[in-house]
Structure 1
């Protein structure tokens, strides 16, 4: 998506459309900063020695950290700029693979449904989101319903 001053309105989405975001590399600093922000200092995210005896071998990113980064990447794609009103629902959120320091991720969102709202200035878009690692492996997936502005009359 090109740089835009205004994102996509509800009418711009069509079932089957796929939106791909830019990519970002997750760093150890991201993982530590998220632990500090959230207060989640679980050993699997913060303790290298502990993690040597886990299937991961090293600290892994928090699931919500990955979700937050992907939300930022969707904004960076221009889709949500000045048109997103609210995240309404998250369903079927699945953590499929661990995310480690150095993994580069992007999001692919497929439009599943568009539904007008009772209020004529907005509508709901339901998306299937996949968060994809540099090797093509899907690390998380979910369905989300987002409220978007409709085009001005």
Structure 2
């Protein structure tokens, strides 16, 4: 979506994606984060979640991929500018299916005529529609090229 296609208050939903144990293991391998909650099955049995849980940044990254899959950011996002008030509310386990619901809460033009900034109140939800993570996310988007704006 181009900057001009967003509106304050607009709610956008992504497709869903199921988190797998392979995702968790691969993320641990890529990042080197083999902390017990993500990789030690015996430790996890002693915790309330009972089994390895996804890394918080893994879930956030998957949410970014879901934004791409939805077409919201495909070919128009320029940069992620910030993530504020990021909170992890519930663990995400393998087999959980997540999706993103985000509402546009602010927009502003930049000094560059071809770019604009959009801020979202973003929630990552599981298959029970429980919020597992939330944040305020700000991205820079391309503005619609002048030729496309004139055509409509």
Question: TM-score, normalising length from structure 2?
Answer: 0.95
> What is the count of residue pairs matched by the alignment?
146
The unaligned stretches of length 5 or more in structure 2 are: 147-152
Q: Which residue of 2 aligns with 1:3?
A: none
Q: Aligned to 1:59, what secondary structure does the other structure show?
A: coil
Deviation at 1:82, TM superposition (A): 1.0
Question: TM-score, normalising length from structure 1?
Answer: 0.94
- RMSD of aligned residue pairs (Cα, Å): 0.5
Q: Which residue of 2 aligns with 1:5?
A: none
Q: Which residue of 1 aligns with 2:33?
A: 40
Q: Aligned to 1:107, what secondary structure does the other structure show?
A: strand
Query: Which structure features the higher share of helix residues?
Result: 2
Matches within 5 A, 1:1-153: 8-153=1-146
Deviation at 1:76, TM superposition (A): 0.3
The unaligned stretches of length 5 or more in structure 1 are: 1-7
Query: Would you identify which runs of 4 or more consecutive aligned residues in structure 1 move more than 4 Å?
Result: none
CA offsets 1:59-92 (integer angstroms, 9 cap, x no match): 1000000001110000000111111000001000
Hey, what's the Cα distance between the residues in 1 that align with 2:41 and 2:95?
15
